[in-house]
Amino acid sequence: MKLEIGRIYIKDIQLGKETSVIDGVLTVDKQGLIDNLKEDGRIKDILIDVARPGEKVRIIPVKDVIEPRVKIQGGNNGFPGVTSKQAQCGEGRTHVLYGAAVVTVGDIVGFQEGVVDMWGEGAKWTPFSKTYNLTVDIQVVAGLDPHTHEETVRIAGLRASEFIGLAGENVTPDEVLTFEIGSMFEETTKYPDLPKVIYAEMNITQGLLHDTYIYGVNQSGILPALLHANEEIDNAVISGNCVAACDKITTYQHQNNSVIYDLYAQHGKEINFLGVIMVPEHTTLAGKVRASDYTVKLAKMLGADGVVVSEEGYGNPDSDLLMICKKCERNGIKTVLITDECAGRDGLSQPLSDTAVEAVAVISGGNVSHVVTLLPADKVIGNAAAIAVLSGGWEGSLLEDGSMMCELNAVIGATSEIGFHNVTCRLY
């Protein structure tokens, strides 16, 4: 399977009367986008705005972040199975408005947090302070049930990114990346001496505000699924969850999954990258046992020597992570785990309460309890009342000058468990 991703560097976003990219400036037809999204009768109002790196702007509560793209050749435009008819993702050519992002804002429940600060201390912690963000605030008609409300907001974000992505259709990209991996037999013949490595990506799949979709299929009802390494980075996977701000894998992060990019970079050099197993994180213990058994079985069938496992969320998925680890290691398959940790405000507490002797290679995406001070914003996009949710959890978090202390867990992408973020870890 061969995929070309053409990156069109975006240096600014402007609102205007047509949608285009000229000299790196993305202009968005604001009214056209609003009219397009409001074709969905469940939407009452759409507010469009722009947030640029360095501006004293806060976006809250963020629902999802999506990279605008257009399919040039192969497959279908948009998100097959969701915003367009089913088609194979991962083949042909896709143009990306690189440096731009659609950030959806939508208050589905009162306790939603998810903050992106475009400047200052807050900006250091979220990768989406560096993107030019087109914010889409989606307000729905009265009387929608929570599931329909969530779906409406999710689909609107995807459609907005599709609408904007079309601007890249006839633009020559600044850079073209090629992703090509043949069948496992072909690659193993080419690289007989390289260790075979598969990526097991765990995704939250537990119900409302806690779901992930592959080609539009809710992962909660399926067994672990094997994907070619190209599919996820070409719009096959979308996020439906939004109450785990720091370690939620946004759709943007699925589209740019760092683990896939890094394993790809080593393919044919250090490793033979076999592909991706998408692992659902179930609520029941039976589901966890089934998904971990099935993941290990797939890894064994494919002859994997090693598995990189990334987690999404915190709490019950920690059990799945260790089940996969233990079962792989006992079957002679080496594991590397990527998670995040709760090591207390000072970072000194024992970080993981679930442990296993088999877990010998563990990477932390950051300490979710680390406290940051967010300064008052000049402008808030979204619901300013949601800011109270950030500081609502503990005494003394709201300071006299209007700045606010909050834990990293409120900041979008702050402790990404697929490594798409700003913090790094160092060995002392």
Partner 1 sequence: MNNLIITNNPAVAEIKDIVLFVDGSAEETLIKARDLVHEGYELISHPLAASLRMMFSPFRSVILGKKSDKVDIFSVEIIEESIIKFKRHMESRKIDTDNNDDYKMIDLILLEAAIHEQPVTW
Choosing from 22, 73, 146, 174, the residue that interacts with partner 1 (CB under 8 A) is 146
Q: Is 113 in the site for partner 1 (CB under 8 A)?
A: yes
Residue 78 backbone dihedrals phi, psi, to 5 degrees: 80, -145
CA distances from 338 to 173, 179, 308, 311, 366 (A): 33, 23, 8, 6, 10
* Cβ closest to partner 1, residue 111 vs residue 189: 111
- Of 140, 114, 118, 136, the C-alpha closest to 127 is 118
Residues in CB range of 139: below 8 A, 6 or more apart: 43, 44, 45, 46, 47, 106
Single out the catalytic residue among 242, 246, 325, 342: 242
- Alpha-carbon distance of 394 to 268, in angstroms, equals 50
Binders in 321-350 for partner 1, by CB under 8 A: 342, 344-345, 349
Q: Is 22 in the site for partner 1 (CB under 8 A)?
A: no
Strand (E) or helix (H) holding 379:
strand 379-382
Residue 198: strand, helix, or coil: strand
* Cβ closest to partner 1, residue 93 vs residue 248: 248
Choosing from 176, 285, 360, 384, the residue that interacts with partner 1 (CB under 8 A) is 285
Which residue has tokens 């959806």? Answer: 104
Q: How far is the CB of 246 from partner 1 (least distance, A)?
A: 7
* Cβ closest to partner 1, residue 286 vs residue 301: 286
Q: How many residues bind partner 1 (CB under 8 A)?
A: 53
Choosing from 200, 244, 333, 337, the residue that interacts with partner 1 (CB under 8 A) is 244
Residue 132 · residue 52 · CB < 8 Å? yes
Binders in 210-239 for partner 1, by CB under 8 A: 210, 220
Choosing from 32, 53, 268, 287, the residue that interacts with partner 1 (CB under 8 A) is 287
* Cβ closest to partner 1, residue 188 vs residue 316: 316
Q: Please count the residues of the chain.
A: 428
Token digits of residue 263: 């394993």
Give me the residues that bind partner 1 (CB under 8 A), please: 109-113, 146-147, 204, 206-210, 220, 241, 243-248, 281-288, 290, 312-319, 342, 344-345, 349, 353-354, 368-369, 388-389, 392-395, 409
Residues forming the active site:
242
